[in-house]
Amino acid sequence: MVAKNWCYFITYALSLLVGAQTALRTRALQTAVTWDKYSLSIHNERVFVFSGEFHYYRLPSPDLWKDVLEKMKAAGFNAASVYFSWGYHSPKSGEYDFTGIRDVQKLFDIANEVGIYIISRAGPYINAEVDSGGFPGWLTTTKDLTRVYSPEYTAAWTEWLSAIDPYIAKNQITNKGPVILNQVGKFIFNMCPSYMQALEDKFRADGVIVPLTFNDAWTNSSFGHGVGAVDIYGFDSYPQGFDCANPNIWPGSAQTYWRGYHESFNPTEPLYIPEFQGGAFDPWGGVGYEKCATLINYQFERVFYKNNYAQGVTMLNLYMTYGGTNWGNIGYPGVYTSYDYAGGISESRQLPYKYGELKLQGHFTQTVKPFSTTFWFNGSTADNSDIRVDTLQDVYTGTQFYIVRHQNSSSLVHDTFHLNVNSTDGTFTIPQQASTAITLDGRDSKIIVTGYDFGSHHLVYSTNEIFTHAQIGKRNVALLYAFEGEDGETALKVNRSAKPAVKSFGNNPVTTCVNGTTLRLNYKHQGITPVVITGAAEPDLLLYLTGYDDAIKFWAPKVDDKQTVLVYGPYLVRGASLKGTTLALRGDTNATTTIEIVAPETVKTVTWNGEKISVQTTLYGTLVGKLAGPAKITVPNLLKAKWKFNWASPETDPNFDDSNWIVANHSTTNSITQPETLPVLYADDYGYHTGSIWFRGKFNGPSAITGLELLGQGGNGSGYLAWLNGEYLGGTPIPATSSSANATYTFSKGQVKSGENTISLLLLTSGHDEDWNVDDQFKSARGFGKALLVGGNNTAIKWKVQGNLGGEDIVDKVRGPYNEGGLYGERAGWHLPGFSDSKWQSVSLPYNFKQPGVAWFRTTFNLNIPSGHDVPLAFRFTDDKSKEYRAIFYVNGWQFGKYANALGPQTVFPVPEGIIKHNGQNTVAIGVISFNANSSELANFNIEILGAYCGGIKVNDVDSPNYNKAVRRV
């Protein structure tokens, strides 16, 4: 506990200096990013921060970073929050890699090109459901408590920040880069202010001058004041939890104390939620992400995100917006390969239904500027006591936002009501039209706006919601939406001197009435109703009144800093530019699509992905045309492919040569799990931090020995297998709910020889734990805490250990420290393209190899996906769930899946383009680890198409080095 005392001693010393510290605090280091109690400003312009979490290390195909960031930008996100993962860049103390898939400069460049800000979060500790919460493997063997002030830990994190900080510093907005904010650390429960302060001082010393932020795990009042205080404090909230098994039950309720907490805790800063629930992760043996997508669906987004706004949040980051893949061994034991997270963009980069809601809210927060500077007032009621109304008013313009939801945020009741508003234009009960009402049909929330100037028009109120509005060419355009069948009422100010004319171009009736200076429209939301209003104000107004499912098919790309166009129809519109009279649109279609474009009148030509499309002008002055869908895509059937097969547990053979293995002879360990028997059999202690680990033990056999007791600690959902003298003793799967399991293997009579005996143990690991509580939980053992011969009076075993080739001196620097483990096939490079399997046995699937242990399968196949298409591909395992085997599979040498047949839940494994070559030859290698003879098979394994989109972006193949005999000497 030396380290803890350090913490308090140094914190006390610093607190004496706190006046000086505060003075040193760095609000004046730059003027690009400023803030007040309402919101952040960038270059003196208010911004509502609508941010999505994205982890580059969960998408190791750097060109696709652009795809994800463009999809975020198209939904109205103006920022991406990015964790930088220490362990991903550092296989060994002192070694740091920022090349290839780790090229963070490329990430910053892409963000700049796309036009999206970055909130950088470099830890050192990040949690994030990654191995050790982002700590490198080599940190697991250090002595001092981490995440407090200690010399050993300080030396370690100083290495990391010295390596990553120059990238963050160079790419700050003050240097024309995308970084606007820099988070320090990650929630800390056993708070050590001096540690926090030391991190801040390091960022500052390394030239990070943008505001520093903190991410409290909840409203826990950390680091808003005193030693270690940051510039902008924020807290997390995951109100729904992670119980995807009951996706229709909403256990959490929308919180209403945050505004008060913020006003008392950090009233001079904006209300920031650095992580709000954007989805949910799912554990080994879980129910799968489809159910998580139901739990955290568009209704959750509507009710909970809007409640955040009602509480005063103007800086919101959604975790995860793009989850990606725990490829290789990057995940911690609580997650399996997919980290889809049921986020707004799927693991395979497809756009689920809930993306549409993000787009509606994203554009609203970016378009309606008064939303960034509001105060709450107790100003309004509904004529239905079931309805909660939070009223916000802009301090500058008086524009009001009535955020309505059910009092009980998970209510399923269909409610209708009228709202009493007291706006800059007077008091009204809306809607005013008899027999109409505002609807909240079950889990829903709406933002109703009054007294809002947009373009040259003035919205008195609308009972519907605003997607966006813009001046396009000579007229104003706005889009209002509500769910299909709901009533709509919109009132606009009219210019007394003009005579307003309202012309509807849809099939749904729109009635109008003018009362004094107010023009009122009444209608029902269904499909799309374009309405042109002339004479209300100059210029004309084109109003789209739409149902929800049509609203989410609109896009509002900016053609430059000022101008926007509106586009309806395509699956995705990535961007637009205007050169002379040509409007160039970029995007993706999933089928033949009718496109409608609201463009400046000067536009004569429209191109889509560079090709001219023929367009007609509608009666209300928009352009319509047709876009082609994707070509028909085919992939080979891998069940018909030629497969090669080889046995791969030579370590079980008593005569196997383990002379170059490391002798496991430690008698002490820095692990927090103390072993029950010695020597220490923890892989980390011998330099192996990832994937499968082999142990071989030799003992001389008095016949009194009757068995072997083991405690295997591989992490949740892992397991181990044991052999004696080449004979299989048995396998022990570790359940998803436990990180270790005991087993006793009884030897049969005569199985122990009187001379030398050999035990072979294969431990599968599922990664290191995180460090949630600052108790070094990530230093939990990965190995065998107990290996005891039963009978024979504590006969000593001489142990050796083997893990990934090279240990911390990884041999595959391109794919990095988490890609491969210590299976024989991995060490020997059987997973790599270019390895010659010509001497292996030819087999076809399904194939049963009838013996427990490890076996490998390989095949190659060609793909020829047409250019100009984005075709997400995946591999699917299908088998009888009673069979207890695991498989890891590699595509072109990249480990892209850990499959647990009996445990589940994942059966479909997306592999991003670039890792899988869409044009050319691909190599698949699968290591199957079988726990019993009946389970020794690879049954149905095939490639499948998850979707086909005409468009996409150009993706270069990721450098995937071939097998090299010289380095794969095992």
Nearest to 481 by CA among 442, 444, 517, 456: 444
- Nearer Cβ to ligand NAG (220/433): 433
- Nearer Cβ to ligand NAG (515/737): 515
CB 944 within 8 A of CB 816: no
- Nearer Cβ to ligand NAG (591/704): 591
All residues at 6 or more sequence positions from 562 whose CB lies less than 8 Å from its CB, including other chains: none
CB 543 within 8 A of CB 480: yes
CB 869 within 8 A of CB 952: yes
Helix, strand, coil fractions of the chain, as percent rounded to 5 = 20, 35, 45
The sign of the torsion formed by the CA atoms of 915, 918, 920, 924 equals: positive
Question: At its nearest, how many Å lie between ligand NAG and the CB of residue 629?
Answer: 7
3-state secondary structure of 738: coil
Question: At its nearest, how many Å lie between ligand NAG and the CB of residue 563?
Answer: 25
Q: How many residues does the chain have?
A: 970
Q: ∠42-43-44 over CA atoms, to 5°?
A: 85
Q: Does 591 engage in binding with ligand NAG (CB under 6 A)?
A: yes
* Paired tokens of 820: 């491969």
- Nearer Cβ to ligand NAG (515/634): 515
- Residues 488-527: x/- map of binding to ligand NAG (CB under 6 A)? ---------------------------xx-----------
**What's the CA dihedral at 219, 222, 225, 227 to 10 degrees?**
180
Question: What are the backbone dihedrals phi and psi of residue 441, each rounded to the nearest 5 degrees, phi first?
Answer: -95, 95
Q: Does 432 engage in binding with ligand NAG (CB under 6 A)?
A: yes
Q: Does 616 engage in binding with ligand NAG (CB under 6 A)?
A: no
Question: At its nearest, how many Å lie between ligand NAG and the CB of residue 16?
Answer: 48
* Paired tokens of 150: 């200690």
- Nearer Cβ to ligand NAG (9/377): 377
- Nearer Cβ to ligand NAG (370/733): 370
CB 766 within 8 A of CB 331: yes
Question: At its nearest, how many Å lie between ligand NAG and the CB of residue 571?
Answer: 5
- Nearer Cβ to ligand NAG (24/631): 631
CB 279 within 8 A of CB 343: yes
- Nearer Cβ to ligand NAG (14/389): 389
- Nearer Cβ to ligand NAG (34/422): 422
- Nearer Cβ to ligand NAG (71/827): 71
Question: At its nearest, how many Å lie between ligand NAG and the CB of residue 500?
Answer: 15
Question: Which amino acid is located at 446 in the chain?
Answer: K
- Nearer Cβ to ligand NAG (19/516): 516
Question: At its nearest, how many Å lie between ligand NAG and the CB of residue 369?
Answer: 22
Q: Distance (Å, rounded) from C-alpha 403 to C-alpha 378? A: 12
Question: At its nearest, how many Å lie between ligand NAG and the CB of residue 422?
Answer: 4
Question: At its nearest, how many Å lie between ligand NAG and the CB of residue 771?
Answer: 41
Size of the site for ligand NAG (CB under 6 A): 8
* Paired tokens of 662: 């490391």
Question: Which amino acid is located at 547 in the chain?
Answer: G
Phi-psi group of 914: left, alpha or beta (phi > 0 → left; psi -120 to 50 → alpha; rest → beta): left
Q: Does 424 engage in binding with ligand NAG (CB under 6 A)?
A: no
Annotate 60-76 with DSSP letters as a single string: --THHHHHHHHHHHHTT
Question: At its nearest, how many Å lie between ligand NAG and the CB of residue 515?
Answer: 4
Of 264, 268, 427, 659, the residue at the interface with ligand NAG (CB under 6 A) is: 427
CB 619 within 8 A of CB 504: no
792 alpha-carbon distance from chain centroid: 53
Residues 263-282 close enough to bind ligand NAG by CB under 6 A: none
878 alpha-carbon distance from chain centroid: 27
- Nearer Cβ to ligand NAG (571/699): 571
Annotate 425-466 with DSSP letters as a single string: TEEEEE--STT--EEEESS-EEEEEEEEEETTEEEEEESSEE
Instruction: Indicate the helix (H) or strand (E) that contains 411.
Output: none
- Nearer Cβ to ligand NAG (20/591): 591
- Nearer Cβ to ligand NAG (385/427): 427
CB 324 within 8 A of CB 337: no
Q: Does 590 engage in binding with ligand NAG (CB under 6 A)?
A: yes
Strands (E), 507-642: 511-515, 518-524, 528-534, 541-547, 554-555, 566-568, 572-579, 582-588, 593-598, 605-608, 611-613, 615-617, 623-627
- Residues 715-754: x/- map of binding to ligand NAG (CB under 6 A)? ----------------------------------------
- Nearer Cβ to ligand NAG (153/571): 571
Question: At its nearest, how many Å lie between ligand NAG and the CB of residue 306?
Answer: 23
Instruction: Indicate the helix (H) or strand (E) that contains 258.
Output: helix 258-265
Question: At its nearest, how many Å lie between ligand NAG and the CB of residue 590?
Answer: 4
Question: At its nearest, how many Å lie between ligand NAG and the CB of residue 669?
Answer: 54
For tokens 């995946």, the residue is: 874
Question: At its nearest, how many Å lie between ligand NAG and the CB of residue 516?
Answer: 5
Q: Distance (Å, rounded) from C-alpha 356 to C-alpha 552? A: 5
Residues 754-783 close enough to bind ligand NAG by CB under 6 A: none
Q: Are strands 117-121 and 79-83 parallel, antiparallel or unpaired?
A: parallel
- Nearer Cβ to ligand NAG (427/794): 427
Question: At its nearest, how many Å lie between ligand NAG and the CB of residue 420?
Answer: 8
For helices 151-170 and 104-114, give the axis angle rounded to 10 degrees.
40
Residues 516-575 close enough to bind ligand NAG by CB under 6 A: 516, 571
313 alpha-carbon distance from chain centroid: 21
Residues 780-839 close enough to bind ligand NAG by CB under 6 A: none
Question: At its nearest, how many Å lie between ligand NAG and the CB of residue 451?
Answer: 12
* Whole-number Cα distances in Å, 68 to 61, 116, 719: 11, 11, 35
Question: At its nearest, how many Å lie between ligand NAG and the CB of residue 432?
Answer: 5
Of 15, 219, 294, 422, the residue at the interface with ligand NAG (CB under 6 A) is: 422
Question: What are the backbone dihedrals phi and psi of residue 92, each rounded to the nearest 5 degrees, phi first?
Answer: -155, 145
The sign of the torsion formed by the CA atoms of 715, 96, 161, 168 equals: negative
Question: At its nearest, how many Å lie between ligand NAG and the CB of residue 734?
Answer: 40
Question: At its nearest, how many Å lie between ligand NAG and the CB of residue 440?
Answer: 23
Residues 873-902 close enough to bind ligand NAG by CB under 6 A: none
Question: Which amino acid is located at 805 in the chain?
Answer: L
- Nearer Cβ to ligand NAG (573/915): 573
- Nearer Cβ to ligand NAG (140/393): 393
* Whole-number Cα distances in Å, 578 to 554, 565, 599, 600: 19, 10, 10, 10
Q: Give the interface with ligand NAG as residue ranges (CB under 6 A).
A: 422, 427, 432, 515-516, 571, 590-591
